[in-house]
Amino acid sequence: MASFKWNLKALPFGNQSVIYHLDGSFFRENEPTRIFAANVDVDFSISRKSEQDYELAMDCHGTLNIECDRCLEEMVHVVDVRYELSVRQEGSDYDDSNEHVLVVPSSWRELDVEPLVRDTVLLTIPIMHHHDDGECNSEMMDALGRHSVTHASENEEDNNDGEAAIDPRWEALQKLKKNN
Ligand SMILES: [Zn+2]
């Protein structure tokens, strides 16, 4: 694999590009979402504009095998994203608060783009992600469904002194879930 570390000071003016191929081992165990496998190509380029200004661009295409929120089985998530970022060497502080301009200390010789590549790919995963309707593992769904039905009937027994005990918001949520 091509190095993720770029020697900023020694970089010639103009454009350098490289392809990073990301597989499952690129992603750590403590990602926000479980990654079973990955097959993503990143067309990465870094362009030096001046003594202290650089432009990065990454085109990421491929697939991640992640955990479905509904049935907890493996599902395929398609990655198709381009991210551009300006890097400026200035002062003594690292500042990544701006989405489009990263400021790194002028003393830095090297820029490690590995975390930038990783975050760019991971941010394509929606907070809620699941198989298309009807494509979840039905055995798993049955098991999970039985579990929540049991809970619902227990609650009904506890609250059988009046219909008002059921929070209307909860009821609406249950209906929404069924329709999904
Ligand atoms: Zn599923």
State whether 118 and 149 are in the same domain.
no
Distance 24 CA to ligand 1 centre (A): 20
- Tell me, in angstroms, the distance from the centre of ligand 1 to residue 55's CA: 39
Give 74 Cα–ligand 1 centroid separation in angstroms. 7
Phi-psi region of 72 (alpha: psi -120 to 50; beta: other; left: phi over 0): left
Angle at 178 between CA 173 and CA 180, to 5 degrees: 95
Q: Residue 177: which pLDDT band, with cuts at 50, 70 and 90?
A: low
Q: Do both 84 and 151 map to the same domain? A: no
pLDDT over 90, % of the chain: 67
From the CA of 27, how far away is ligand 1's center (Å)? 22
Domain count within the chain: 2
- Could you tell me if 31 and 113 lie in one domain? yes
Cα 131 to ligand 1 centroid, rounded to whole Å = 4
Mean pLDDT across the stretch 32-42? Answer: 92
pLDDT in tens, 98-135: 989 999 999 999 999 999 999 999 999 999 999 999 89
Mean pLDDT of the chain, nearest integer: 85
d(Cα 42, Cα 58) in Å, to the nearest integer?
A: 6
- Report the separation in Å between the CA atom of 22 and the middle of ligand 1, taken as the mean of its atom positions: 24
Phi and psi, residue 143, nearest 5°? -60, -45
State the average pLDDT over residues 155-165.
46
Query: Do the Cβ atoms of 29 and 53 come closer than 8 Å?
Result: no
Residue 110 lies in a domain: yes
Do 174 and 113 lie in one domain? The reply is: no
Give the predicted TM-score (pTM) of the model: 0.76
Range of the domain at 144: 138-179
Q: How far is the CA of 150 from the centre of ligand 1 (A)?
A: 21
Mean pLDDT of 157-177: 53
- Residue 127 falls within a domain, yes or no? no
